[in-house]
């Protein structure tokens, strides 16, 4: 039998990715198996072995797919420099819509795998570093625009705090959505950002303290 035409191979590859995504959306990474993906596309595990010879190859593809879909999601416009842009970025992370909730559930379900695999753990750490790097320039702008209450605040540490706060809120909202509905999540984020602003008190800000991400070891 001749090999499939390039167009057919590309179509099949898209079908496989859609099936992987369907399994992730339904069962998370805990339910991601070749058998489940094959069932989702009415195919065979033998066929899938051509794409994923190992379970880790399947997981790596799923993580890549999740990262692509996360990057391609609709995002809020950046309203202004500084803290307003930080707010827009962090709101895009929170589970405020059904799609955002589903995507966050998938991400959280991947953490167990990442903690057990040094390579996957490194990739996840890299994702957090990139996110902090996205937030940091806007915090630097906030400092230049006098939107921060602490003149000594370090943008790298503030970015780490903002990402940590937001992802902590994500987890709580996923496990207890009745306690953390959309309006509560939004209000908590606004309170966090207000704590960085003028009049909030310098003792509530992160300046250069040893041991925090981005700080120099003393």
For the chain, 218 residues long, give each residue's pLDDT as a single digit of tens. 344 455 566 678 888 999 999 999 888 999 999 999 999 998 889 889 888 998 889 998 999 988 888 888 877 787 888 999 999 999 999 999 999 999 999 999 999 989 999 999 999 999 999 999 999 999 999 999 999 998 778 999 999 999 999 999 999 999 999 999 999 999 999 999 999 998 765 444 444 444 434 433 33
Global pTM?
0.79
Local structure of residue 23 (DSSP, 8 states): H
Whole-angstrom distance, CA of residue 147 vs CA of residue 121:
35
Angle at 99 between CA 73 and CA 196, to 5 degrees: 70
Distance of CA 163 to the CA centre of its chain: 10
Q: How high is the pLDDT of residue 79?
A: 83
- Report angle CA 166, 89, 203 to the nearest 5 degrees: 55
Is residue 159 within 8 Å of 135, Cβ to Cβ?
yes
Q: Greatest CA separation found in the chain?
A: 74
CA 59 to chain centre: 16
Is residue 174 within 8 A of residue 101, CB to CB? The reply is yes
Calpha distance 51→61 (Å, rounded): 9
What domains, with CATH codes, occur in the chain?
6-69 (1.10.10.60), 76-204 (1.10.357.10)
Please report which helix (H) or strand (E) contains residue 117, including its range.
none
Tell me how far CA of residue 55 lies from CA of 26, 59, 151, in angstroms. 18, 6, 50
Name the strand (E) or helix (H) holding 195: none
Please calculate the CA angle 6-69-47 and round it to the nearest 5 degrees: 40
- DSSP reduced 3-state for 186: helix
Please say whether the beta carbons of 29 and 63 come within 8 A: no
Count helices and strands in the chain by DSSP H and E runs: 9, 0
Which of 196, 200, 215, 210 is CA-nearest to residue 157? 215
């Amino acid at each position: 039998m001749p090999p499939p035409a390039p167009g057919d191979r590309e179509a099949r590859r898209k079908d496989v990715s859609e099936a992987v995504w369907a399994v992730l959306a339904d069962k998370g990474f805990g339910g991601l198996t070749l058998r489940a993906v094959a069932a989702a596309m009415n195919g065979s595990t033998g066929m899938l072995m051509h794409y994923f010879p190992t379970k880790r190859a399947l997981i790596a593809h799923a993580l890549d797919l999740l990262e692509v879909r996360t990057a391609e999601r609709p995002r809020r416009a950046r309203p202004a420099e500084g803290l307003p842009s930080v707010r827009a970025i962090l709101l895009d992370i929170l589970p405020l819509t059904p799609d955002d909730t589903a995507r966050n559930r998938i991400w959280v379900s991947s953490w167990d795998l990442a903690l057990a695999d040094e390579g996957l753990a490194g990739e996840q750490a890299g994702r957090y570093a990139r996110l902090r790097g996205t937030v940091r320039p806007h915090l630097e702008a906030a400092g230049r625009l006098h939107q921060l209450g602490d003149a000594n605040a370090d943008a790298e540490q503030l970015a780490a705090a903002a990402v940590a706060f937001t992802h902590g809120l994500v987890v709580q909202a996923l496990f207890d959505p009745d306690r953390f509905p959309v309006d509560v999540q939004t209000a908590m984020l606004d309170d966090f950002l207000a704590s960085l602003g003028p009049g909030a008190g310098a003792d509530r800000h992160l300046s250069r303290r040893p041991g925090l991400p981005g700080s120099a070891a003393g």
